[in-house]
Amino acid sequence: MNYRHEFHAGNFADVFKHIVLTRILQHLGAKPAPFRVIETHAGSGFYDLLGPEAGKTAEWRGGIGKLMAASLVPEVQPLIAPYLQLMAPLIEGEPPRYGGSPWIAKTLLRRQDKMLFCELHPDAFANLRANFGNDARIKLFQTDGYARLKAFLPPAERRGLVLIDPPFEAADEFAKAAEAVEHAWRKWMTGIIMLWYPVKDAGTSAALAAHLLERGVKRVLRLELQTGRPAPQGPLARCGLILVNPPFRLDAEAEILLPWLSGVLGAGEAGFLIERVSGE
């Protein structure tokens, strides 16, 4: 297990994933009934953007750095502003920091909501515990998130989100992730499920969506964002999200968001994909 999210925090992939995450959490928070967020691969929660890892790759400058400098056009403003409002105090801090998915979720959680985070790496888990360990709404598990997920579903609240955000280091990660999505859906057919994945070649991600369709998973939306030409050995230039039971109108929001984001964060061969993989 070599992956450290510290090298990639705040890059274009994080920005894309976390904007959509913020939209989902806002949607869940719009009703007073409690919800639960379950995250299988939580990471550290906070990242020092000038630290030895993020400072070395500086990937964040092509992600949150570009976004902070962009002028929001009126139709995009309401979709992105909530995420930027969360991030701005951290980015403008000294040193600048980036908040990962646990921090975003914690910030948008209400008194009645709950969160479960799994993280396997000892250093990342220690950070997670230091940052989130004293909040009674949050439970932390230093464990394999795929294995633990089964025991968490369905949650008592019956509303909420499963976020699966693996490092994709292992050759079988796409298969494991697809299995986790299908399994989560079978155990909790009304829950929102969000899987992040990298795109190095178009075939693998198309196969992921086709697999879920074939297994009968309903209400699947696939979104992809590209900031340059994807290459198997090159730096990440395209990534995607599989969303099961996406909030109402998220697909319409993506039609506004993704062209704009690909223009602001991309160069050359930037682009996007919005695919309604399966309906009811």
Ligand X SMILES: C[S@@+](CC[C@H](N)C(=O)[O-])C[C@H]1O[C@@H](n2cnc3c(N)ncnc32)[C@H](O)[C@@H]1O
Per DSSP, which regions of 40-89 are E strands? Answer: 46-48
Q: Applying CB under 6 A, which part among 60-68, 144-152, 184-192, 202-210 lies near ligand X?
A: 144-152
Matching residue, tokens 């709404």: 137
H helical segments located in 223-272: 250-265
Nearer to ligand X, 46 or 272 (CB): 46
75, 92, 135, 144: residue in contact with ligand X (rule CB under 6 A): 144
Tell me 97's DSSP state: E
Q: Applying CB under 6 A, which part among 73-81, 107-115, 165-173, 218-226 lies near ligand X?
A: 165-173
- Asked if 146 touches ligand X (CB under 6 A), the answer is yes
Neighbours of 126 (CB within 10 A): 14
- Asked if 165 touches ligand X (CB under 6 A), the answer is yes
The Cα–Cα gap between 98 and 64 comes to 9
Neighbours of 183 (CB within 10 A): 16
- Asked if 10 touches ligand X (CB under 6 A), the answer is no
28, 42, 54, 149: residue in contact with ligand X (rule CB under 6 A): 42
Using CA atoms, how far residue 106 sits from 36, 39, 79, 139, 143, in Å, is 11, 12, 19, 11, 20
Q: Applying CB under 6 A, which part among 119-127, 186-194, 228-236, 240-248 lies near ligand X?
A: 119-127
80, 108, 124, 162: residue in contact with ligand X (rule CB under 6 A): 124
- In whole angstroms, the minimum distance from the beta carbon of 60 to ligand X comes to 12
167, 259, 263, 271: residue in contact with ligand X (rule CB under 6 A): 167
Supply the DSSP string of 264-276, one letter for each residue: HH--SS-EEEEEE
- Asked if 41 touches ligand X (CB under 6 A), the answer is yes
User: Which amino acids are annotated catalytic?
Assistant: 165
The Cα–Cα gap between 157 and 155 comes to 5
Nearer to ligand X, 40 or 245 (CB): 40
The Cα–Cα gap between 34 and 74 comes to 32
Nearer to ligand X, 146 or 152 (CB): 146
- In whole angstroms, the minimum distance from the beta carbon of 113 to ligand X comes to 18
- In whole angstroms, the minimum distance from the beta carbon of 136 to ligand X comes to 22
- In whole angstroms, the minimum distance from the beta carbon of 229 to ligand X comes to 23
Give CA angle at 56 (204, 122), nearest 5°.
70
Neighbours of 128 (CB within 10 A): 26
Pair type for strands 97-99 and 138-141 = unpaired
Binding site for ligand X (CB under 6 A): 1, 3, 5, 17, 40-43, 100-101, 118-121, 124, 144-146, 165-167
